[in-house]
């Protein structure tokens, strides 16, 4: 009986640890996502107004529609995303430059935002087809 209880306790611990590592299955609200992006951008040394602009540009569905032909990111296949990634990066970079960021700031922003949140875990974030 003690072995069964110990086994159940171990399974529960692993389940809780896995759920916590995956974010508990909770979706972030747009406001939470924007706040997390601003936090990631802190090392770039942007003003609050510049950080707001970067977040707006990075989440702009018009750029996505122009590059991919749709604003529904989930409907785009992984191969299409990979093939059009350079065009997407170029479109975002042009918008960042038009927003008044210096070339150095644009470079820092692109570098920061290109890194995967959470330490770059492979396969993280899911949703690809």
Give the length of the chain. Answer: 129
Residue 44 buriedness (CB in 10 A; 0-12 / 13-18 / 19+): buried
Report CA 81 to chain centroid distance, whole Å: 14
Q: To the nearest whole number, what is the mean pLDDT of the chain?
A: 77
Give per-residue pLDDT as tens, 71-110: 777 788 888 888 888 888 888 889 988 988 888 888 888 8
Q: What is the token pair recorded at 25?
A: 């299955």
pLDDT digits (tens, 9 = 90+) for 51-61: 898 899 888 88
| Nearest one of 62, 64, 52, 66 to 99, comparing CA atoms | 52
pLDDT at position 18: 61
């Amino acid at each position: 009986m003690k072995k069964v209880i110990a086994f159940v306790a171990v399974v529960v611990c692993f389940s809780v640890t896995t759920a916590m590592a995956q974010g508990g299955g909770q979706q972030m609200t747009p406001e939470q996502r924007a706040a997390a992006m601003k936090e990631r951008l802190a090392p770039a040394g942007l003003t609050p107004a510049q950080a707001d602009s970067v977040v707006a540009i990075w989440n702009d569905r018009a750029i996505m529609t122009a590059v991919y032909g749709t604003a529904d990111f989930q409907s785009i296949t992984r191969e299409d995303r990979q093939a059009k990634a350079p065009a997407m990066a170029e479109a975002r970079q042009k918008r960042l430059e038009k927003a008044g960021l210096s070339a150095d700031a644009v470079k820092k922003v692109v570098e920061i935002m290109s890194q995967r949140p959470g330490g770059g875990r492979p396969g993280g974030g899911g949703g690809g087809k």
